[in-house]
């Protein structure tokens, strides 16, 4: 046993003089990434309160409304697309285009359904047309742009309802015609400003023409609207 212990001491005697940092080169680095609390909150919303999530989404929708009112060549509306704003505008416009009569049970329902279907079906058709012509944006990005650009026409509908409350028919029609024409032009201009760069240069007219018809139909519905007695 004494011989074995002595042999073991001789085998490991030289290792006591070895320095890892000096004699044996250590290659590579071992780093443990530790994220700061602010970074974790920025990229993870699983533990975020519902109130903060709703406020953040409302701010995002409000920013897109600002982009529509002041259209410019920006990818913000296309990059951070959503359908909450278009859904809100579509429901609001459909509700305001309902008849004012409460005596007829079949007055409000079909009108709401017709407006809802016209807006969404028209948006889908324009989006498919854009994709078939070689558009580079996605299906939902196009729906987002077309839906948000209904905002000027929705504002025009609010103004027309207020004008119809008072004033003669001739005066109210002239005011409504001016408001609807301006809103229709603004909606068409805003949508083409966002969609133009995503289309081939030689096919932009084929994309803009259905957009023109889409907003023209909505504008005509607003202009010819008259509440039931």
The separation between the first and the last C-alpha atoms of the chain, rounded to the nearest angstrom, is 115
Helix (H, G, I), strand (E, B) or coil at 181: helix
Compute the distance between CA of residue 133 and CA of residue 207 in angstroms, rounded to an integer: 8
Decide if 159 is inside a domain. yes
Give pLDDT tens digits for 175-212: 999 999 999 999 998 888 877 777 777 777 888 888 99
What pLDDT shows up at residue 8?
54
Q: Is the pLDDT of residue 17 over 90?
A: no
pLDDT, average across residues 48-75:
78
Decide if 161 is inside a domain. yes
What pLDDT shows up at residue 7?
55
Decide if 73 is inside a domain. no
pLDDT, average across residues 131-137:
80
Decide if 210 is inside a domain. yes
What pLDDT shows up at residue 30?
41
Compute the distance between CA of residue 7 and CA of residue 191 in angstroms, rounded to an integer: 88
Arithmetic mean of pLDDT over the chain: 75
Greater model confidence, 108 or 49: 49
What pLDDT shows up at residue 27?
47
Query: How many H helices and E strands in the chain?
Result: 10, 0
- Length of the chain equals 229
Q: Is the pLDDT of residue 87 over 60?
A: yes
Helices (H), 27-168: 37-43, 50-69, 76-79, 84-96, 108-132, 139-148, 151-164
Total structural domains in the chain?
A: 1
Decide if 46 is inside a domain. no
Decide if 193 is inside a domain. yes
Domain residue limits at 183: 82-98+110-224
Decide if 105 is inside a domain. no
Decide if 196 is inside a domain. yes
pLDDT, average across residues 117-140:
85
């Amino acid at each position: 046993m004494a011989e074995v212990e002595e042999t073991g001491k001789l085998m490991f005697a030289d290792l006591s003089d070895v320095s890892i940092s000096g004699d044996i080169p250590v290659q590579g680095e071992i780093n443990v990434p530790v994220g700061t609390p602010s970074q974790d909150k920025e990229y993870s919303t699983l533990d975020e309160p519902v109130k903060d999530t709703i406020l953040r989404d409302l701010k995002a929708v409000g920013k897109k409304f600002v982009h529509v009112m002041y259209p410019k060549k920006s990818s913000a509306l296309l990059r951070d697309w959503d359908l909450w704003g278009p859904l809100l505008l579509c429901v609001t416009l459909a509700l305001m285009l309902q008849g004012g009569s409460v005596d007829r049970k079949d007055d409000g329902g079909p009108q709401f359904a017709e407006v809802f279907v016209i807006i969404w079906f028209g948006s889908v058709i324009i989006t498919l047309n854009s994709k078939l012509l070689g558009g580079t944006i996605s299906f939902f990005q196009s729906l987002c742009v077309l839906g948000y650009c209904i905002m000027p026409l929705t504002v025009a509908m609010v103004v027309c309802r207020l004008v119809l409350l008072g004033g003669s028919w001739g005066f109210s029609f002239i005011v409504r015609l001016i408001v609807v024409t301006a809103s229709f032009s603004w909606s068409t201009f805003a949508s083409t400003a966002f969609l133009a760069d995503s289309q081939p240069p030689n096919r932009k007219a084929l994309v803009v023409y259905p957009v023109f018809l889409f907003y023209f139909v909505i504008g005509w519905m607003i202009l010819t609207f008259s509440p039931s007695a």
